[in-house]
Structure 1
Amino acid sequence: MKLRWKALILGFIVMLVSAGVYLIFFQQSVTPGVAGDIETEEGPEVPEELVTQNLVAFAKLYGFIKYFHPSDEVADFDWEGFASYGANQVRNAEDTEALMTQLETLFQPVAPTLILTTDQSFDPNKTDIANLLQKNQGQYIFWQHRGITTDFTTAIYRSSEDVYQSDRVIFEMENEEAVLDDPVFEMVPAEEEYLAEKQLTDDITAFFPVVLPYGEEGSLGTTDESKDAFKALKDEVIAAKFGGTSVQSVHGRLAGVIQTWNIYQHFYPYFDVVDVNWEEQLPVFLSLAEEEQGHEDYTAVLEDMIEKAQDGHSMVISRKSSYGDTLPIRVHVIKDEVIVVEALEDSPFKAGDIVLKKDGTAAKELMKNLMDKTSGSPQYKEALAERMFVIGDSHTVIEVNRDGEIMELSAENGSSYLDSTLKVHEPVVELEDGIYYLPLYQNVPEEKYAEYYEELASAKALILDLRYYPSSSAIELFGHLVKEPLPTSQFLIPQYVLPDQEGEITYEDGSWELEPKEPVFDGEMIFLSDGLAISYAETLLGIAENNELGTIVGQPSAGTNGNVNGFKLMEHITIYYTGMKVLKGDGSQHHLIGIQPDVPVNYTLESVKNGKDDFIEKALEVLEEKLGDHE
């Protein structure tokens, strides 16, 4: 599968966010119902700890059944509404018995073969469903997830070659081999994995099949009684007035946390390398969702939650995510100070200004707050915080230290968007005789680059700037750097058949090769990198690193690559995350580590004041040595 162009399309989202521009979604809820909040029945007051325990049990079972129980009912159910409705039903259960009764009432109509028990000696192999699974000689049905399909995923991927796909798949055993009918991928659970066992609380254990016998009337295990209960449950969910549930409703807020936690729990591919106990986050953020809050406070809770995943693609976008104008400056953290490194000529700011405060908040404190709310590697957190720091307008007051003088400045000419850099370059700039600089982040069409091909083919050296998100034509330009097809990093799409990412996880290889183009650029190559080089930029840097195309100068890249996936919550809230596992060309870890520079560089205040770019200056030093060796 070639994912190149899909990666470019999805990367556009990352480009906008990396530049400080946030998308606004105006999509209607897909959930039926009447706007309003669920009415909570009055009952005895339950301790907060017990409320949280009840919600944790519901949340876990919600994910197990929604994504891995293969009944026909699961595939024909309003899970968004059920998350809110179910949270309301279980939260005030007074004890283990009451909780288990509520969970059975909620889930058994959807999953008739579900068993809940507090009997620690319970033997699931003596149940009817176990006997049915053991004796079945016909067809079976189970879930296959290549990544995970959501409403968001379907809207993004329109081709027959979808990156992420979830389907129930039918198979039968022939000569002890599974024969699958139109599978997403070639794998089934092992026979000993057909019946899953999961602990919901210290006392309650859930047993449920991830594989069900399948007949002419669909998945087996359904009864007339369960069909009636399922119809009644669907009607109750619709009647619960959750269709327009807002963040003003505790049940709506809980539903968002439940949905978000489960997507990451079962389908986020980097828990093997990030330092977080994701299971411990569930009670924490369910408790936070219980607190009364408005839209901005709630999205902040979700941001804090996904920050724990340490994923540069993870972000919360909502209808209120537009941040307006931006200041006419760029800043970098240099030796623990926030420094203006570039300013528009007609602005009151000057390169070298030390920013002390923004609207009364200490610059260092604000930078830390911005980093804390950003998911990703340390280098990406800082780089994105630098971009977000300059969001503001003509009313924003910036206090600076300019050569010892404390000044208060306002942005009289803020723009409506934050470009990747304030300085506009020609597509190709000759810095010295035969040495050309290409700012690949500028939106330059391939045909414009073509005007320079003859010069570039005979150049001594090229400096390719990938410090910001590259234009779509950059990949075409890279084709002129190679003489034979060269591989990318490893782009692996995880394939799941069991909950909690247990059992064998296989991968579909989505890597591709960069094809050579004429004319070939034979000069020395320098690639500039920093923490804002994310996703598509890292694909290009990865090609350079894996195939030793030249020298990488600068700072580590973001350490986040692979196609974005996402899902929608209430009130037009959309959450993005990385759904694909990317490894370096040699199979080693890329996530969080990024592309490491061959020649590290830091910005210096002296260079900033003198209008110099430390990265370009270092690149020229490296080239002077390399080209001198060739003479």
Structure 2
Amino acid sequence: MKKRFRIFLIGFLIIGCKGDLSNEKKPQEKLTEHQEKVSNLKAFAKAYGYVKYFHPSDEAAKIDWNSFAAYGAGEILKCNNTEEVIATLNDLFKPVAPGVVFSNTKQAYDMAMITPDALDDYNPTYWQHKGVSLGMNNQGGVYNSVRVNRYTEIDESGSFGSLALFLDPEKYLGKEIKYTGWAKLKEGSKGTGHLWLRVDKAVKTMGFFENMDANPIKSNEWAQYEIEGTIDGLASGLVLGSFMKGKGTLFIDDVHLYYKENNEWVEIPIMNNDFEANTIGVKNEQSDWRGNSNGYSYSVSTSERKEGKQSAVIAYEGKIRKVKGTKLFDYFPKFGELIEKEIGDGIFAQIPLNLYGNAEITYPESTGFDSLQEKLNSVNESLDNQSVFLGNVINTYNVFQHFYPYFDEVDVDWEKELTTALHRSFNDQTEYDHLVTLQKFTAPLKDGHIHVNGPETREYIPPINWEWIEGKLVVTRVKDESSGIQVGDIVTKVNNQLPESYFKEINSRISAGTKGWLNYRAQHKSLLGEKGEQMVLEIKNKNITLNREHKYEYGYNDVAMQENDYKLLDENIYYLNLSKIEMDTITSLLPQLQQAKGIICDLRGYPNGNHGFISHLLKEKDDSKQWMRVPKTVYPDQEKSTGFEYFGWELQPRKPYLGDKKVVFIIDGRAISYAESYMSFIEGYELATIVGQPTAGTNGNINPFTLLGNFSISWTGMKVVKHDGSQLHAIGVLPDIYVNKSIVGFKEGRDEFLEKAMEVILN
């Protein structure tokens, strides 16, 4: 109601002012105003990152930095000149960093402001980062951020709390299914609620999957939600339930599951579907529902219910661990070191990197912190979308500005991209607009691990798949024979655009290090849209209209041979599909592999935990220990680098030794991350002949973070190089023999990559 009233009021004012437009701003004036606002926001953005990641006050460690970004952006938008910006920066940051100074001139910093009268009970405190964990979703892993000598509360909760049950799908194979349930969020919840349904296949791949990420539960009122899908003919398991994502409480009641028979929905019995049992979350005689996510509780409520006497409750409680920060490495900023920068035209910042702290406080103690906290606690309700969108852009900018490890490898003007993203944010009207802005913002980083997700992702596709082959857009799959489209057809226009023009916009939203990964992502992303949205294709000079009615099948396999875990080919050549085969299976095959004429390893995909196979190709111990590199950071803007922490796999040779065989690895652009760790051994130690196309050029553990409004971004938090120390990022592992897919070969159903691998072994 609040938003509707605001729109009505604006409409009334426009009508009321219609007779006199003399005060209406001209386009050039609006552009100038936007440029000034963007300049002011950039100054705030820089101050935000400096204080968040490098100023060690207790107050800065306590606030919600997501909310602060949005609140601060909103306050900066009110400024009309440099003096007001400086005053607002001081007002914003003094409550969290009382020792900071923003001014219009360079000046000497008064160290007395941050120096206690007596130092007897004080210790220095400062930030050290290995990668970064501050503000990231995952805590306690390879990445770590520490305020040395201060206690920090680490939330080890999962990113969601899930309540689920498992059913045998055997009676319903090939059937359409529908899952319904009533749900609501508790008022004040900051996360989102979800129903979810997943079909598992017997071949250990996923079939239908829906978790309402594109349309999550946000309402505080009871409403019924539903998911419809199909149980695959190869299904081995059916899992359904609900989950609370983020901080909040979700109520669920009266859930039902149906399958379709003779065009009628028939109910599938679920024990305790009305949640009237005394307990929930642990399977027992009364209930099959299970919940075990860290930091979430599972209970029943008698006060909030839709039907019957009670409902199920999933509530975030937090799994908090209080730890004292100990040094991650030797180097640290000394007391008296400052960030001293001009963060905007005529706007100077002085921010201490090292403070003194005792058992109670860091010095000096803030006086306005509680008041700021109250304002931040109501950010989601009180701020318009524009401030939230701008805050998210500012937050994202700083993660990469200070911690992205590949700026030396990619040609990007990151500050220019910030300017562009801020300008775009002024025009964003919807959550989907904002999603696109975040995607375009991060795409130039050329990080194949970057995936931007939001509450309005569009996940429906027409009944086709396609792929670029020999510079043509070729249909590779048709699910609706009545469409008039055939496999192998060439698409000459998409929505009245040349395919190259249509894909140009799609590609601008994908972060990819190599052309292979870009094309792999784009071939499905280009099909996505809203349910029912039409797509018009020109094929053979004829327009064909398709409807987007089905969700994209992420488990779909377009390589026929990869349906096999392994296969004995002609001439006693063994084929191993490394995307599916388990290490135990490889181990059982070792006697046969010893006798084989050759071994073909297909890594057009992602390994299934089978990198132990590399040890059977190694003749000597792996001595490459520095190809994974986690940056060590104490200064902003990646200045004064303090080096890396190095890692490797340190594999040992294993018997039987298979390196004397003819071994061929097949790769292409979809081989990313773990696959490239695998292939770096093959390339670096020359363990096999490599055929195909370059890999994705992206490796290193991901480090996802969440923004306001249920947006999230994953990215690569460490630098990974090849075993000889040369660049991997945005290059990938290169084949010894390049193979290109042909249209003729595709139409004939040939796997030209596999054919080349066979040829290498037989010649």
Report the TM-score range of the alignment, normalised by the length of the smaller protein: 0.7 to 0.9
Shift of 1:606: 2.4
Is contact 2:149–2:325 with CA below 8 Å preserved after alignment? yes
The answer as to 2:633 corresponding to 1:496 is yes
Is contact 2:476–2:487 with CA below 8 Å preserved after alignment? yes
Shift of 1:130: 7.5
Query: Quick one: distance in 2 between partners of 1:588 and 1:391?
Result: 37
Is contact 1:244–1:570 with CA below 8 Å preserved after alignment? no
Residue 528 (structure 1) aligns with: 666
Residue 433 (structure 1) aligns with: 571
Judging changes above 3 Å, is the alpha-carbon distance between structure 1 residues 465 and 344 closer, same or farther for their aligned structure 2 residues?
A: farther
**Further displaced range: 319-328 or 602-611:** 319-328
Judging changes above 3 Å, is the alpha-carbon distance between structure 1 residues 109 and 420 closer, same or farther for their aligned structure 2 residues?
A: same
Query: Quick one: distance in 1 between partners of 2:549 and 2:49?
Result: 49
Kindly indicate whether structure 1 or structure 2 has the higher relative contact order, using CA contacts under 8 Å at least 6 residues apart.
1
The answer as to 2:360 corresponding to 1:221 is no
Query: Quick one: distance in 2 between partners of 1:283 and 1:532?
Result: 32
Judging changes above 3 Å, is the alpha-carbon distance between structure 1 residues 109 and 571 closer, same or farther for their aligned structure 2 residues?
A: closer
Which residues of 2 match residues 510-525 of structure 1 at below 5 A? 510-522=647-659, 523-525=661-663
Is contact 2:454–2:712 with CA below 8 Å preserved after alignment? yes
Output the TM-score relative to the length of structure 1.
0.80
Query: Quick one: distance in 1 between partners of 2:621 and 2:547?
Result: 49
**Further displaced range: 303-312 or 420-429:** 420-429
Is contact 2:137–2:706 with CA below 8 Å preserved after alignment? no
Shift of 1:532: 1.5
One-letter amino acid of the counterpart of residue 220, structure 1: Y
Deviations 1:416-439 (A, max 9, x none): 513352325321123321222222
Quote the sequence identity (%).
32
Residue 25 (structure 1) aligns with: none
Residue 290 (structure 1) aligns with: 426
Is contact 1:556–1:596 with CA below 8 Å preserved after alignment? yes
Shift of 1:55: 1.2
**Which one of the candidate residues 458, 470, 492 is aligned to 1:335?**
470
Query: Quick one: distance in 1 between partners of 2:556 and 2:750?
Result: 18
Judging changes above 3 Å, is the alpha-carbon distance between structure 1 residues 214 and 199 closer, same or farther for their aligned structure 2 residues?
A: same
Residue 163 (structure 1) aligns with: 142
Shift of 1:349: 5.3
Q: Name the structure with the higher strand share.
A: 2
One-letter amino acid of the counterpart of residue 460, structure 1: K
Aligned-pair RMSD on alpha carbons? 3.4
Shift of 1:138: 5.9
Query: Quick one: distance in 2 between partners of 1:525 and 1:342?
Result: 32
Query: Quick one: distance in 2 between partners of 1:146 and 1:504?
Result: 12
Shift of 1:607: 1.7
Query: Quick one: distance in 2 between partners of 1:428 and 1:481?
Result: 18
Residue 356 (structure 1) aligns with: 492
Residue 237 (structure 1) aligns with: 376
Deviations 1:552-575 (A, max 9, x none): 111111110000011111221111
Query: Quick one: distance in 2 between partners of 1:514 and 1:394?
Result: 51
What SS is found at the alignment partner of 1:289? helix
Residue 145 (structure 1) aligns with: 129
Residue 341 (structure 2) aligns with: 198
One-letter amino acid of the counterpart of residue 688, structure 2: G
Query: Quick one: distance in 2 between partners of 1:438 and 1:343?
Result: 28
Query: Quick one: distance in 1 between partners of 2:673 and 2:113?
Result: 46
Judging changes above 3 Å, is the alpha-carbon distance between structure 1 residues 540 and 526 closer, same or farther for their aligned structure 2 residues?
A: same
Shift of 1:185: 2.7
Shift of 1:388: 2.9
Residue 182 (structure 1) aligns with: 326
What SS is found at the alignment partner of 2:696? coil
**Which one of the candidate residues 638, 642, 645 is aligned to 1:508?**
645
Residue 66 (structure 1) aligns with: 52
Is contact 1:316–1:576 with CA below 8 Å preserved after alignment? yes
Query: Quick one: distance in 1 between partners of 2:478 and 2:584?
Result: 31
One-letter amino acid of the counterpart of residue 185, structure 1: F
What SS is found at the alignment partner of 1:90? helix
Judging changes above 3 Å, is the alpha-carbon distance between structure 1 residues 133 and 411 closer, same or farther for their aligned structure 2 residues?
A: farther
Shift of 1:359: 5.3
Residue 64 (structure 2) aligns with: 78
Query: Quick one: distance in 1 between partners of 2:468 and 2:342?
Result: 47
Which residues of 2 match residues 127-138 of structure 1 at below 5 A? 127-129=111-113
What SS is found at the alignment partner of 2:345? coil
Judging changes above 3 Å, is the alpha-carbon distance between structure 1 residues 332 and 506 closer, same or farther for their aligned structure 2 residues?
A: same
Residue 95 (structure 2) aligns with: 109
Which residues of 2 match residues 225-304 of structure 1 at below 5 A? 227-238=366-377, 241-244=378-381, 249-304=385-440
One-letter amino acid of the counterpart of residue 46, structure 2: K
Query: Quick one: distance in 2 between partners of 1:620 and 1:429?
Result: 13
What SS is found at the alignment partner of 1:433? helix
One-letter amino acid of the counterpart of residue 347, structure 2: I
The answer as to 2:510 corresponding to 1:374 is yes
Shift of 1:370: 2.1
Query: Quick one: distance in 1 between partners of 2:117 and 2:574?
Result: 68
One-letter amino acid of the counterpart of residue 332, structure 1: E
Deviations 1:403-451 (A, max 9, x none): x685848699967513352325321123321222222223x33334444
Judging changes above 3 Å, is the alpha-carbon distance between structure 1 residues 267 and 244 closer, same or farther for their aligned structure 2 residues?
A: farther
Is contact 2:51–2:60 with CA below 8 Å preserved after alignment? yes
Query: Quick one: distance in 2 between partners of 1:540 and 1:622?
Result: 21
One-letter amino acid of the counterpart of residue 168, structure 1: R
Which residues of 2 match residues 617-628 of structure 1 at below 5 A? 617-625=755-763
Q: Name the structure with the higher helix share.
A: 1
Deviations 1:106-157 (A, max 9, x none): 111211111122123x223x54248779999962100111111145433xx5
Is contact 2:53–2:134 with CA below 8 Å preserved after alignment? no
**Further displaced range: 534-543 or 132-141:** 132-141
The answer as to 2:500 corresponding to 1:385 is no
Shift of 1:245: 6.7
**Which one of the candidate residues 611, 616, 621 is aligned to 2:754?**
616
Shift of 1:602: 1.4
Judging changes above 3 Å, is the alpha-carbon distance between structure 1 residues 243 and 341 closer, same or farther for their aligned structure 2 residues?
A: closer
Shift of 1:322: 5.4
Residue 105 (structure 2) aligns with: 119
Deviations 1:19-38 (A, max 9, x none): xxxxxxxxxxxxxxxx989x
Shift of 1:519: 3.6
Gaps of 5+ in 1: 1-34, 172-179, 626-631
**Further displaced range: 136-145 or 196-205:** 136-145
What SS is found at the alignment partner of 1:595? coil
Is contact 1:489–1:542 with CA below 8 Å preserved after alignment? no
